[in-house]
Amino acid sequence: MDYASRVRYSDFRQACRAHKPSELLPYLASFSARKNGLGKLQIDVMKSTPPWTVAAIARESLLWGNEHRDKPVTWAAVAKLFNLIRNVEVVPEQTSLMRIMTPIVQEQFAYWRSPQVEMARALAVLDTSWPGLPDLDWTKVFGMSLAEMIRATELVGVAAVQMDGRVDLGRLFGPGMERVATDLLPREEADLALRYLTRTPQEHKAEAQAAGVLDARAGEYAYNPLRSAPFVDFGDGVPISPEPRLIWQAITMGTLYYVGPKYFGDKKFHTDLGHRMSHYVGQQLQQIEGAEVFPELAYDSQNAMTIDWFVVLPEVVLLVECKSARLNAMGLTGDEEALSKTVARYFDKARQQIDTTARHVQRGEPRLGRVPLDRPLLGITVTAEDIYMANYLMKEFGQDAVTPTLVASLAEIEAMVTLPTAEVGKRLVAICADAEQSTWSLKQSLGEGMDPRRNALLTRVRERSNFLRDEAGHRATDS
């Protein structure tokens, strides 16, 4: 496609506005439920009608459309929308690789994650009793526990696909469907979940306005309010989900990070989140059989503390520093200023803590005598969310640490600990010795053999949100 044939994003937006939202969004919901479903994405779908494009079309129609339009919603009209956004020219004259790549990978890779693993992680970090931290009462948010909300979200997500993009609880729990309530979950939990996950078009617009997205300059990768409320209520009592793969994303750490402060206090929630995340990382690392894992130590008489976790392996000592790092809405679009703020707040500080700890270990500080001196030190900065290009040593991510250091997300730590114990240290040392592999994402550079579905901690957590029949089965087995 040559540049002469490319279009502006405003042209795509105008094409979306040509249809009534109450007609276009249900069409998208039905199409996506049938074409994409919730299974593995197929190559032809990714090339022609990917779910992230469905979500973008729905957003533009929802935020900028109105009910006074009269262009019919046909497959030809919708296909034109897919073709238009594919040909949008979004690269400014002067830009960086970071600005180009960040929004693409951050948006698209989310659709490849495992819903069960992502929601289980939220449950493990945000609804587990951790030493010295108050429990969070999620009934204030959902009207039920977080585990029950996850269970209900899974049900309405599957129902949306089975019901052509809609969820009619009257049908789902109606005559002949009695086993849904006895085997899966009570009707009232489905009601509460659907109520939480649904907004009217006016409410979606209000959220977009508050987030600064209802702006003519907002483009393809701007925040989509359907991520936090994936259902739309057009007033008929049967909400629709334009892209069903967005449903589970509403109950993940990345989304609940912005929900928690409204109910538990901004500063308190974010401070406690950092501690919760550190405890969780420690529990994950302790699954490496044979490794010696111990928490931070004071390294001087003023009780200045080291990094969060030490992991002693035969080949290497890992210095693990946890940061509840995530990119905000502007950072997700590749904005250099927003990215720089994230780097200064999280990565620079983590590198300093890793280097300071390594320096005291190498000097033989008696307070750190538990750390062996006969093997190399490797730093790992653990982030709450995937920041896919953080190891690429681009200038936007600041200067590298003196100590060889890798960035890993919680998801990558969960996968890493499923490797055979003998492989963990060996592969990490090899990665740091390879100038190219050390710039890849940790999941990519670690290679084959990882599977978070084998992660025992995540498996135990997932069981807390089992459907009723599974809970009954576990109780019967235990007895």
Please report the pLDDT score of residue 395 as a whole number: 54
- Sign of the C-alpha dihedral, residues 459, 465, 467, 473? positive
- Give residue for tokens 């905000």: 328
- Write the pLDDT tens digit of every residue in 131-160: 999 999 999 999 999 999 999 999 999 999
Q: Which two tokens stand for residue 258?
A: 């912005």
For residue 369, what pLDDT band results from cuts at 50, 70 and 90?
Answer: very high
44 Cβ partners below 8 Å, 6+ apart? none
Closest CA to 254 of 220, 228, 222: 228
Average pLDDT, the chain: 89
- Write the pLDDT tens digit of every residue in 98-109: 777 777 888 888
Whether the per-residue pLDDT at 189 is higher than 50: the answer is yes
For 165, counting Cβ atoms within 10 Å of its Cβ (0-12 exposed, 13-18 middle, 19+ buried), the class is buried
For residue 71, what pLDDT band results from cuts at 50, 70 and 90?
Answer: very high
d(CA 38, CA 36): 6
Please report the pLDDT score of residue 329 as a whole number: 75
**Average confidence (pLDDT) over 16-31:** 97
Whether the per-residue pLDDT at 304 is higher than 80: the answer is yes
The answer to whether the CB of 51 falls within 8 A of the CB of 29 is no
For 477, counting Cβ atoms within 10 Å of its Cβ (0-12 exposed, 13-18 middle, 19+ buried), the class is exposed
Please report the pLDDT score of residue 471 as a whole number: 72
How many beta carbons lie within 10 A of that of residue 330, not counting itself?
Answer: 17
Please report the pLDDT score of residue 365 as a whole number: 94
For residue 284, what pLDDT band results from cuts at 50, 70 and 90?
Answer: very high
The answer to whether the CB of 247 falls within 8 A of the CB of 153 is yes
Please report the pLDDT score of residue 475 as a whole number: 40
- Write the pLDDT tens digit of every residue in 238-272: 999 999 999 999 999 999 999 999 999 988 999 99
- Write the pLDDT tens digit of every residue in 315-362: 999 999 999 877 777 777 777 777 777 777 788 889 999 999 999 999
Lowest mean pLDDT, pick from 70-74, 387-391, 402-406: 387-391
- What is the side-by-side strand order in the sheet with 405-409? 292-295, 309-312, 317-323, 377-383, 405-409
Please report the pLDDT score of residue 324 as a whole number: 86
Please report the pLDDT score of residue 327 as a whole number: 77
Whether the per-residue pLDDT at 127 is higher than 50: the answer is yes
Domains located in the chain, CATH noted: 1-96+134-262 (no CATH), 265-447 (3.40.91)
The answer to whether the CB of 204 falls within 8 A of the CB of 232 is yes
d(CA 247, CA 37): 12
d(CA 35, CA 165): 11
Q: Helix 146-162 and helix 115-126: axis angle, to 10°?
A: 160
Overall pTM surpassing 0.85 (yes/no): yes
